[in-house]
Amino acid sequence: MGMSWARAFAASGPPPVFAAIGAGGLQRAEELHGTLRLQRSPRQAAILLVLGEIAPDLLPFLQRLHDHLPHPRATIWHRATPPGDWTDPVQATADGLERTLTDLWRSILSGDRASEPDFLPDKPPNEWRGVGPHGQGGKGMMGGTPYGRPMAMTDDDLRDGLSLDAYSAPFGPFLPMLPPGLILDLTLQGDVIQSATATRPPCPQPGSDDRPGDAIARLMRVMDMPALALRRTRDGLPPAMGIAMLRRAIPDGLGRARDGTDVRDRLDRWRDKDAPQADDGTRLSDLLPGLEWHEAMIVLNSFQPDRIRAICARSGPEGGDEDDKDGNRDAPAHAPPDHGGHQHHDMTGPAA
């Protein structure tokens, strides 16, 4: 092999993996959290694990994600079909995954397998259209669209009237804390969400809805309890003490859907293994505006895959206008009046 001792030593450890989850890959990802070293950011991974089928519209995003991994890097397709033009794809079967991973990790570290080159040119995606040497735009610090991204401008504030800069950007589809496949168009002020539309709904995850243990584990992971999230008691759920702590950390009344349930209620239903709730017509605009980033991630992870898919499917760019006409933006239609929540979590929508 001709590996230096340092490379051989590094290769004897578990490979750092980033999982890009497609259709039907979520359940398998939960199993793999226990055995693989799954990283939170592609920057800390050497192997891109494509898990589940990637729809054609997600391929450009997958290529961009691929280019985020530092060299040397490689891609493994597991329960997924690589597109025809992907050079020399590595595919792994269900029981051969770990072996394929370690072999690949060893061969890219030793140089036996060349690191995969970039798909995209390493330059800004748009032309420079700002003014001034630092993209400060038109007048003073305002205006201009440097590299195709408009400069953030001050905007009315949902919460405290500070009129901070509003910043719009797409988030997803492979962020580990979002439902896989979801692309969210968010306008943020600081980390407070002003508006949210789903430009693409999450991928379908058949069979994931009747796994309350996995759903609780995802919520635990977003709130940084990754070890407890992996532990399962005999009833298939994480330890009851951990769930109780989790419940206490979640504000009362957070993420109230149109059927009146909040995050805590949905967590209780998972804990008691109640049947998944029927769809109630909730939209992202009922849930996210006014929330801080951390709260928003908790809310998005408090729905089963099918339900969040339905919520996002009707929260697209067109759905938003309809929503305004309904006049339903301010409060969930069926919220009981006595559940205002804490003062500092008063999450009504924007005053129209």
Partner 1 sequence: MSLIVGLPALLALLLIGLWAAAALDTAIGRLIVGRPVGMAATDPLRAVVADYLRQRTDTEAPDHLNWLLAPGYYFLLAVVGLALVPFAPDQSLIALDTSVVLWGAAEAVVVVAVFLHGWSPNAPFPLIGAYRYVAIGLPVMLLSMFVLIAASIPAQSLDLRAVVESQRGLWNVIRQPLGLPLFLAVVMSLTLRGPFDYADSADLAGGTSAEDGGPRWIAWQTARAAMLVAACAIAATAFLGGYLGPVLPGWLWLSLKTLAVMVAVVLLTHLVPRMPVARMLTLIWIVLLPIAFLDLLIAGLGAL
Question: Binding residues for partner 1, per CB under 8 A?
Answer: 6-7, 9-14, 16, 34, 40-41, 43-44, 46, 68-72, 109, 124, 147, 167, 169, 175-177, 188, 190-191, 220-228, 230-231, 242, 245-246, 249-251, 254, 292-295, 297-298, 342, 344-345
Closer Cβ to partner 1, 251 or 350, answer by number: 251
Torsion sign (Cα): 57, 80, 214, 69: negative
Closer Cβ to partner 1, 138 or 239, answer by number: 239
* Separation of alpha carbons 182 and 201, rounded Å: 5
Least distance from C-beta 1 to partner 1, angstroms?
15
Least distance from C-beta 225 to partner 1, angstroms?
5
**C-alpha 267: how far from chain center:** 19
Question: Which residues does residue 166 pair with via DSSP β-bridges, in sequence order?
Answer: 153, 189
Least distance from C-beta 236 to partner 1, angstroms?
14
The separation between the first and the last C-alpha atoms of the chain, rounded to the nearest angstrom, is 67
Closer Cβ to partner 1, 4 or 93, answer by number: 4
Closer Cβ to partner 1, 59 or 297, answer by number: 297
Closer Cβ to partner 1, 5 or 84, answer by number: 5
For the chain, give the number of residues.
Answer: 352
Contacts of 11 (CB under 8 A, 6+ apart): 3, 105, 106, 109, 110
Least distance from C-beta 313 to partner 1, angstroms?
24
Least distance from C-beta 226 to partner 1, angstroms?
7
Least distance from C-beta 330 to partner 1, angstroms?
20
Closer Cβ to partner 1, 40 or 273, answer by number: 40
Contact between 40 and 71 under an 8 Å Cβ cutoff? The reply is no
**Structure letter (DSSP) for residue 146:** G
Residue type, 304: Q
User: Degrees (nearest 5) of the Cα angle 255, 261, 265?
Assistant: 95
Q: In what side-by-side order are the strands of the sheet with 90-92?
A: 37-38, 16-21, 47-51, 74-78, 90-92
Q: What are phi and psi of 332, to 5 degrees?
A: -60, 140
Closer Cβ to partner 1, 139 or 344, answer by number: 344
Least distance from C-beta 120 to partner 1, angstroms?
12
Least distance from C-beta 91 to partner 1, angstroms?
24
Q: Which two tokens stand for residue 265?
A: 């209620």
Residue linked to tokens 């994600």 = 65
Strands (E), the chain: 16-21, 37-38, 47-51, 74-78, 90-92, 153-154, 165-171, 183-189, 192-200
Closer Cβ to partner 1, 108 or 310, answer by number: 108
* Separation of alpha carbons 62 and 181, rounded Å: 10
Least distance from C-beta 327 to partner 1, angstroms?
28
Closer Cβ to partner 1, 82 or 190, answer by number: 190
Contacts of 140 (CB under 8 A, 6+ apart): none
